[in-house]
Amino acid sequence: MRPSFHLQLVNPPFGDPGLLVDFLFEKRALLFDLGDLRALPPRKLLRVSHVFVSHTHMDHFMGFDWLLRLSLGRPSAIELFGPPSILAQVEAKLSGYTWNLVQNYAGNFTIQVNELHPDGRLERARFACRERFRRQPLPSVRCDDGLLVAEPGFRVRATLLDHEVPVLAFALEEPRHVNLWKSRLAEMGLPVGRWLQPLKQAVLAGATDDTPVRAFWKTKGGSGERTLLLGDLRPAIRVVPGSRIAYVTDVVHHAENVRRIIELARGADVLFIESVFLDEDAEHAARKFHLTARQAGSIARAAAARQVVAFHFSPRYSGREAELRQELAQSFGGSADAASGADPPLQASGEIPMGIV
Ligand SMILES: [Zn+2]
């Protein structure tokens, strides 16, 4: 996997669930769930452009206020996605404060809320600071195949699951991207620089080997420029499939949920999945509409995930974290190491992931 983002669980596994996806070479991030966010530095939270809320139990939604507090007065915007009822719940949160002084704020912080329904409808509204966060309805749109966001750099898909209430699980997909070997470019006497970005775009667009490429650079040693053919640069170019990340939490174990999770997470490079209870407490887990670690591991295996990361441990297992991880790892069938990392790998050194130049 050579992702162009860094993955970070917001809290340790006994804390509130949440995942920050920080893009490595852009000042932007995605956030999955809005529980207690205070463990994240404000500078990271202020990069968040999209928020994906699984559901609005308090441990997944109380951080909304903190994110709002940090963002207020800034000229930024956030898109927020959630299950049915999220629009009314965001509106209710916003109407819980007094906004008599915000209409003249320099920055018009805006939240666009998108509510996914089982029939694929995305109901939408905007809440803007200078409008005192009153709801401004937007036309609803179709969201076929659960595709919530499709940008050149990433896509996010959702599926609706059952936690007695509707819950969204999400998959983040990165498009194919072009890696470049810095060392091989150096052998050709070519420093890295801004010229690599159009090269990458040309490669992804299927440009042929006789396509001219203009290399230009400014280094401490001076500036330079050369025109080459794309074919000359092939030894330094590798096109790799994008990575896929899935985030699944707060779901009861039954056939339809399992089917939908597997469909969403199939082949994921990393599957973040709740492992709330030990399997010895499976009946209790079912009553609480949560997964056990064994169930989570077997779903991850059925989805052929390459790596699985457990989170959202019940406080009743304080001091027994290793048992939860071991149960998940055994059921997943991978090594305990592969199943336990809270901080999955970044790009390999020597290659330049998409977006560095
Ligand atoms: Zn819940």
Q: Could you tell me the distance, in angstroms and rounded to a whole number, from the CA of residue 261 to the centre of ligand 1?
A: 16
Question: Which parts of the chain are beta strand (E)?
Answer: 5-9, 19-23, 29-32, 48-52, 77-82, 110-116, 121-128, 135-142, 147-150, 155-162, 166-173, 177-181, 212-219, 222-229, 237-240, 244-248, 270-274, 308-311, 351-352
Cross-strand partners of 114: 81, 124
pLDDT tens-digit readout, 267-293: 999 999 999 999 999 999 999 999 999
Distance CA 40, CA 47 (A): 11
Cβ atoms of 38 and 11 within 8 Å: the answer is no
pLDDT band with cut points at 50, 70 and 90 for residue 341: very low
Q: How far is the CA of 248 from the centre of ligand 1 (A)?
A: 11
pLDDT at 110 over 50: yes
Average pLDDT, integer, range 67-93 = 97
Q: How confident is the model at residue 205 (pLDDT cuts 50, 70, 90)?
A: confident
Distance 308 CA to ligand 1 centre (A): 20
Digit-coded pLDDT (tens) for 233-258: 999 998 888 889 999 999 999 999 99
Compute, in angstroms, the gap from residue 231 CA to the centroid of ligand 1: 53
Calculate how far, in angstroms, residue 227's C-alpha sits from the geometric centre of ligand 1: 57
Q: How far is the CA of 186 from the centre of ligand 1 (A)?
A: 52
Quick one: pLDDT band at residue 163, thresholds 50, 70, 90?
very high
pTM greater than the 0.85 cutoff: no
β-strand partners of 246: 171, 271
Kindly give the distance from the C-alpha atom of residue 290 to the centroid of ligand 1, in angstroms, as a whole number: 8
Q: Tell me how far the alpha carbon of residue 16 lies from the centroid of ligand 1, in angstroms.
A: 10
286 residue type, one letter: A
Task: Give ion ligand 1 contacts, CB < 5 A.
Answer: 57, 250
Q: Which residue has the higher pLDDT, 205 or 110?
A: 110
Q: Residue 195 pLDDT > 60, yes or no?
A: yes
Output the CA 251–ligand 1 centroid distance in Å.
Answer: 8
Contact 211, 230 (CB under 8 A): yes
Residue 2 confidence (pLDDT)? 53
N- to C-terminal Cα separation, the chain: 20
Average pLDDT, the chain: 89
Report pLDDT digits (tens) over 300-310: 999 999 999 99
Contact 129, 107 (CB under 8 A): yes
Q: Which amino acid is at 223?
A: S
Cross-strand pairs, 112:
79, 126
Distance 127 CA to ligand 1 centre (A): 26
pLDDT given at position 206: 87
Ligand 1 centroid distance, CA of 202 (Å): 45
**Beta strands 121-128 and 110-116, pairing class:** antiparallel
> For residues 202 and 242, what is the distance between their CA atoms, to the nearest angstrom?
17
**Rounded CA gap, 309 and 269, in Å?**
11
What is the pLDDT at residue 233? 94
- Ligand 1 mean position to 327 CA, how many Å? 22
Please tell me the predicted confidence (pLDDT) of residue 14: 95
Place 343 in a pLDDT band, splitting at 50, 70 and 90: very low
Ligand 1 center to 148 CA (angstroms): 21
310 half-sphere exposure, CB direction, 13 A CA radius: 33
